[in-house]
Amino acid sequence: MDQDSHCTAERELLEAVSRITTSSTTSPSDEEENQPKAEISCQVRKENPEKDDMQDSSATLSPNSSMTTKELQEYWRNEKRQCKQIKLLFEIPSTRIVEHHLSKYVMYKIIILQTGSFDSNKSIIERRYSDFEKLHRNLLEEFSEEMEDVTFPKKTLTGNFTEEIINERKLAFKDYLRLLYSMKYIRRSKKFIDFLTRPELQEAYGCLRGGQYTKALEILLEVIGLQERLTRGNPVAIVPTLCAIVVCHKDLENPAGAFEYGEKALARLHVHTSHRYYMPLLETMITLAYELGKDFLSLQEKLEEWKTKKDPIRVFTLKELAVREYVR
């Protein structure tokens, strides 16, 4: 899409917000940003645009006539954000050597930030060589053609903890991540996203199951921004994390915080009412709305409408669903 077309698409979305109608609107196509130059010496094969179009089409939501004015506005705001170019940068500024019982390994500090403006919500994670190695092996299984010429730092028999080797790997891993992110198929793959978010999410859900809600919430709030950026174009993907945040806030007796994140989760489920989180989330939101003195009748109506369309089956509570996530 050229610049004029891109601007036109944004204007159309803004006009749609002001009209608050559900008339047919042309959704802007997913604009692929300029591919960053790979600093690892390799050539990446050109991606199949036909497959990309199919992927983007399946991930795009459509406005629903049952949406309220507020919900429709939120929907179009999300659509408008989809038009903006989002690109992440990966930096590895430091490392630390960990000695645990009989094992010794290097942890690489990875800073992930958004380009284009000052990013106050940068994400910081740590990964070791074996984590990168596992990612590379998993990606080769699914993307053998795309990964054909991608090189990976080899293990050495000796000298793994020398300053020279560690610095070499810092640069190599930084270039490796930037190269993977430059390939649309890979950066949208579950394996790549899991590499960047799963360890933290597993820790958070472990804390949640153990009743350590403050610690769980702290981790979830750190990872949700990164998870949202990585799954842009598939808003439903972060619903479990949003609902886990709701559970933590609720058990920490912060109904206002729980309601805030519950609204964000519901906004992503309006056209996905068959999602396993939809009914438990509605039930929780009704309870929270009543407690906060907010209007809960519209939520109750949605719940009754859902029940009339679905067969009566056992449904877990929101907390029961949350504690089942990331169980090994």
Give residue 18's pLDDT.
47
Range of the domain at 296: 200-324
Are 222 and 303 found together in one domain? yes
Q: What is the pLDDT of residues 298-312, one digit of tens each?
A: 999 999 988 888 766
To which H or E segment does residue 204 belong? helix 190-209
Higher pLDDT, 204 or 233: 204
Q: Which of 2-6, 113-117, 299-303 has the lowest mean pLDDT?
A: 2-6
Average pLDDT score, the chain: 80
CATH number at residue 242: 1.25.40.10
Q: Which of 188, 210, 235 is the last residue of a domain?
A: 188
Confidence category of residue 156, pLDDT binned at 50, 70, 90: confident
Q: What is the pLDDT of residues 22-34, one digit of tens each?
A: 433 333 344 344 4
Compute CA distances 53 → 36, 49, 50, whole Å: 21, 6, 5
Are 320 and 297 found together in one domain? yes
Q: Which two tokens stand for residue 317?
A: 């509570």
3-state secondary structure of 253: coil
Compute CA distances 183 → 36, 67, 190, 214, whole Å: 10, 35, 14, 37
Q: Which of 141, 156, 188 is the last residue of a domain?
A: 188
Give residue 154's pLDDT.
85
291: in domain: yes
Give residue 149's pLDDT.
87
Are 149 and 125 found together in one domain? yes
In the block, tokens 């749609």 appear at 16
Q: Which of 147-151, 216-220, 316-320 has the lowest mean pLDDT?
A: 147-151
Are 227 and 317 found together in one domain? yes
Q: What CA–CA distance (Å, rounded) separates 261 from 221?
A: 11
221: in domain: yes
Confidence category of residue 43, pLDDT binned at 50, 70, 90: very low
15: in domain: no
Examine the pLDDT at 223 and tell me if it is beyond 70: yes
**Total number of domains constituting the chain:** 2
Q: What is the pLDDT of residues 57-85, one digit of tens each?
A: 344 444 555 566 766 666 656 655 544 45
Are 128 and 170 found together in one domain? yes
In the block, tokens 């692929």 appear at 32
Are 210 and 303 found together in one domain? yes
